Amino acid sequence: MTTLSPIVAGTMTWGTAGKNLDTNQMESLIRLYLEHGINTFDHADIYGGYTTEAAFGKAFRQSAVGRDQVKFISKCGIRYPAEGKPYEVKHYLYSRDHIVQSVENSLQNLGTDHLDILLLHRPSPLMHPDEIAHAVEELKSAGKILDFGVSNFTSSQIDLIRSRTEVSYNQIEFSATNWEPMVDGSLDHMILNGIRPMAWSPLGCVFRTDTEQAKRVRMELIEMMAKYGVPGDVIMIAWILKHPAGVIPVCGTTSPERIAELMKATKIELADEDWFKIWVAARGIKVP
């Protein structure tokens, strides 16, 4: 299984769908993440209306950073209406030809000869495990992907794919405020089957909404920020890292100040009681 940095840099908002960073700004971000020990970059073919991978690839080539210094993840399978993509409706496609062509496009966009990890972006009711396995094994044999996984798949959907080919990762929505994977069997299933979880939106709604849930968690964080000497978002990342499934948070921040703090989460050992205080605040009720 590919060794990733303990925290992954998410690129979804780097392009036209978010910050709309130019080449120099992307290059600076790549270097900044690397400077702070984060060498894994998470992509998807659809980000920025199918433009962000190529924009990142241009910045990566300009940076002259060696390919051996970074890890690239990308996803495929969503067909999203965008310029040059005249689909009438957002839908999914996991034919052998589409998966292989998507990887070829990502390799060209990123300026690399391989992806460290390919993920299927969303499960489709029409996906056929034999078709997927055919594409994955072909791409692995050609050295174009090193590892394979899925994203947002349930345990049974993973087992369907695992019946034909190895699944090493599942990227899911997981945070203190989206804690259901801890109790619906998802993370247990991954531990049992040697599948490494990644977590997108690892801060949940804590800092972007004023729901009662978010307010309760922020109140708990006040004392903990003083106790552990780090910002609240770092504590929330440490909360994820404490789970025995070995969850890898995918953090999409483009703030230099926040990037400089992220890896501090790997040095914090939250006390069990503090971990439960955050979970209880997110739940709004005591644990059973």
Task: Give Cβ neighbours of residue 186 (< 8 Å, ≥ 6 apart).
Answer: 154, 155, 170, 172, 180, 197
HSE-CB of 36 using CA atoms within 13 angstroms:
20
Residue owning tokens 């050992």: 269
Alpha helices in the chain (DSSP H): 23-35, 47-50, 52-63, 96-110, 129-141, 155-162, 186-192, 212-228, 232-241, 256-262, 272-283
Smallest Cα–Cα separation from 74: which of 39, 109, 125?
Answer: 109
Specify the amino acid at residue 251: C
Tokens at residue 278, please?
């955050």
* Of 47, 50, 169, 228, catalytic: 47
Look at the chain and count its residues: 288
Do residues 218 and 232 lie in contact, with contact meaning Cβ atoms separated by under 8 Å? yes
* 82 phi/psi in degrees, rounded to 5: -160, 175
Tokens at residue 225, please?
């920020």
33 is catalytic: no
C-alpha separations of 84 from 4, 47, 87 in Å = 33, 14, 9
Do residues 20 and 52 lie in contact, with contact meaning Cβ atoms separated by under 8 Å? no
Cβ-count burial of 170 within 10 angstroms (0-12 exposed, 13-18 middle, 19+ buried)? buried
- Where in the sequence numbering do the catalytic residues fall? 47
